[in-house]
Amino acid sequence: MKKMVILVVLLTATMVVFGGGRAEQDAADAEMGALVPELTLRSSLPESNLVNYEMAQELSDELAKLGVTLNAQPTDFSVLLDVIYGEEMDYDAYTIGWSGRVERLDPDMFIYSINHSSNANPGGNNTSRYVNPEFDALADAQRSEMDIAARREYVWEAQRILAEDVPRITLYSRSNVQTYNHERFTGLENMSGEGLFNEWSPMVMEAIGERTVPVVASNVNITNLNPFGARSVYDWRNLRLIYDKLVRLSVDVEPTPWAATSWEVVDDTTIDVTLREGMNFHDGRPVTPEDVKFSYEAFMSLPDSYFAAFVQPIDSVELLGNNVIRFNMEYAYAPFITTTLTQIPILPKHIWEGIGDYTQYYNEHPVGSGPFEFVRFRNGEELVATKYEDYFHPVNIDGFVFKIYASPEGVLTDLELGVVDMVSYDLIPAHINQIKDNDGGRYSHLTITEAPDIGFFYIGMNNNRPPFNNKAFRVALSYLVDYDYALDVLLDGYGSRGGAGLVINAANEFWHNPEVPIHNTYNPERARQILAEAGFTWDSQGRMRMPLE
């Protein structure tokens, strides 16, 4: 009995000591900064982008070692677009990419549109919500500088600031490795940043045999056929073939008169464009200067639209007669011909003028004046278009079928079987190697094409929300990314390395600043050091705490 009493006393004393220790630790923890909140990173679905999916999982593991919970949540592409462009701006971080469409060789897209604070509102392309007045001044200056050498200096300095501030972390750029059936079609153009299904191939490619309507495979669904609501490259690759534009960029990336026969730069803030005569919309109604004026003014009325940055410099549009449309600019805008006239679609005023909210119109049957006429769209299955017989430029094929697949494996099977004639996306490395190896002649009818890409895939961070509103945290995060794993393992070398704040990569040689030091080295020790120096701490349970204010 005496031994039992002693044991109880000892146990009680032990509990007091340890309980008191825990209380003291909790009290000490309470004196520290607030806990770094639990975070959610919305990543790609593995079947649509395995690299983004895997990199999100890797980052989650790395942050867990530093006492931060990051939930990597695979998200459907259309849902992700709704989240990051939504009114609520309710997200922590995400993975996505900007394709390297030819219009984006000009730096205005990657400098101004996705980084300027004026585009950080809901619906704007600055989905990182990055704000820096010093950067904004440079982004503004490069737009209006007409001397190309001086403009490059502004663009180079803007890249330096982005590399320091790290509003996003570029993971990698992917080579445009694609394929087509050379036994059925010839004459395709392979464009840098675009690949095979660009705006020229469907017009110039020719059928070798009886099949005159190619099947084009996509592993991502079309999300919107409304030009005012479309935000993804998958939407626009189809819409720009249905709707026409005043200017198109050639395969050699030269501005080519298209729906416009010519343009004249009257002065730095006045541009006159002459509309081609004799064009009709697909419903038979003529294309008029009034349609062009209406189209541009409609986009100008939407300050947060996909093309907002490119119509923002326009003060007014007026009609001078003789099919001449005058664009009066608020200020000199250097890339107006190559980025504005090449992207804004010409819409039929007689269809759109009675619509209240352009962005909410379903646009079930798009009517344009482009080389291909819309036939039907089945969500998640296919979009079908036929050649527009009254188009002013010759088109050699009779239409196309844009077929949507749930996974790349399904595409590879149909490529082998001859169901698919070309792809509209970059092949995954395993499929590239399978086709190259030919596997007993199974893929002998396919040709592999490759082109560098100025686009990039990245981790976007909501710079308005803790901890991403802390620059040191964003910089530290860039050292937790295993860039070698992304490039060498997941991409099997078919691409290039990313880095902190990188938006203009080396493939865009003229505008890329090679002197900017880009953090693109995996170094968890350095990440911890940066965090500690910035005032982040770790409590008794190993959880990361925000700096004290």
Interval 294-303: pLDDT, tens: 999 999 999 8
Tell me the pLDDT band of 342, cut-offs 50, 70 and 90.
very high
Report the share of the chain in percent with pLDDT over 90: 87
CA distance 110 to 193: 14
CA distance 91 to 150: 38
Tell me the pLDDT band of 26, cut-offs 50, 70 and 90.
confident
Identify whether 224 is part of a domain: no
CB 93 within 8 A of CB 460: yes
Distances (CA, A) of 408 to 236, 321, 337: 21, 51, 37
CATH of the domain at 421: 3.40.190.10
Given 363, 384, 416, the domain boundary residue is: 363
Identify whether 196 is part of a domain: yes
Reply yes or no: is the peptide bond before residue 366 cis, omega within 30 of 0: no
Q: Identify whether residues 404 and 419 lie together within a single domain.
A: yes
- Could you tell me the pTM of the whole model? 0.90
CA distance 244 to 180: 26
Identify whether 303 is part of a domain: yes
Identify whether 238 is part of a domain: no
Q: Which helix (H) or strand (E) holds 75?
A: strand 70-75
Q: Using a CB cutoff of 8 Å and minimum separation of 24, what contacts does 228-232 make?
A: 228/298, 228/299, 228/302, 228/305, 228/358, 228/359, 228/361, 229/359, 229/360, 229/361, 230/306, 231/81, 231/85, 231/306, 232/77, 232/81
Identify whether 517 is part of a domain: yes
CB 72 within 8 A of CB 62: no
Q: Identify whether residues 288 and 352 lie together within a single domain.
A: yes
Share the mean pLDDT of the chain: 93
Interval 73-97: pLDDT, tens: 999 999 999 999 999 999 999 999 9
Q: Identify whether residues 447 and 458 lie together within a single domain.
A: no
Give the pLDDT confidence score for residue 15 in this predicted structure. Answer: 44
Identify whether 207 is part of a domain: yes
Q: Identify whether residues 169 and 55 lie together within a single domain.
A: yes
Answer yes or no: is pLDDT of 16 > 80: no
The residue-averaged pLDDT of 26-34 equals: 85
Q: Identify whether residues 481 and 415 lie together within a single domain.
A: no
Interval 356-412: pLDDT, tens: 899 999 999 999 999 999 999 999 999 999 999 999 999 999 999 999 999 999 999
Identify whether 530 is part of a domain: yes
CB 171 within 8 A of CB 483: yes
The residue-averaged pLDDT of 241-250 equals: 97
Angle at alpha carbon of residue 84, lines to 81 and 88, rounded to 5°: 125
Q: Identify whether residues 391 and 376 lie together within a single domain.
A: yes
Distances (CA, A) of 54 to 46, 194, 284, 412: 8, 24, 50, 21
Answer yes or no: is pLDDT of 4 > 90: no
Tell me the pLDDT band of 20, cut-offs 50, 70 and 90.
low
Q: Identify whether residues 302 and 324 lie together within a single domain.
A: yes
CATH of the domain at 349: 3.90.76.10
CA distance 399 to 103: 25
CA distance 83 to 186: 41
The residue-averaged pLDDT of 307-315 equals: 96
Distances (CA, A) of 72 to 39, 62, 172, 466: 9, 12, 18, 17
| 324: nearest Cα among 274, 259, 270 | 274
Give the pLDDT confidence score for residue 19 in this predicted structure. Answer: 52
Given 310, 343, 363, the domain boundary residue is: 363
- The angle that helices 471-478 and 524-533 make with each other, rounded to 10 degrees, is 170
Identity of the residue numbered 339: T
More confident residue, 234 or 293: 293
Tell me the pLDDT band of 14, cut-offs 50, 70 and 90.
very low
Report the residue count for the chain: 549
Identify whether 228 is part of a domain: no
Domain residues for 343? Answer: 243-363
CATH of the domain at 516: 3.10.105
Q: Identify whether residues 56 and 124 lie together within a single domain.
A: yes
Q: Identify whether residues 196 and 162 lie together within a single domain.
A: no
The residue-averaged pLDDT of 56-77 equals: 97
Distances (CA, A) of 270 to 108, 185, 303, 341, 391: 20, 44, 22, 14, 30
Q: Identify whether residues 345 and 408 lie together within a single domain.
A: no
Q: Identify whether residues 442 and 481 lie together within a single domain.
A: no
Answer yes or no: is pLDDT of 110 > 90: yes
Interval 182-213: pLDDT, tens: 999 999 999 888 899 999 999 999 999 999 99
Tell me the pLDDT band of 25, cut-offs 50, 70 and 90.
confident
Given 451, 486, 512, the domain boundary residue is: 451
Burial 414-439 (b: 16+ CB within 10 A, else e): bbbeeebbbbbbbbbbebbebbeeee
The residue-averaged pLDDT of 494-504 equals: 95
When divided into structural domains, the chain yields a total of: 4
Q: Identify whether residues 207 and 166 lie together within a single domain.
A: no
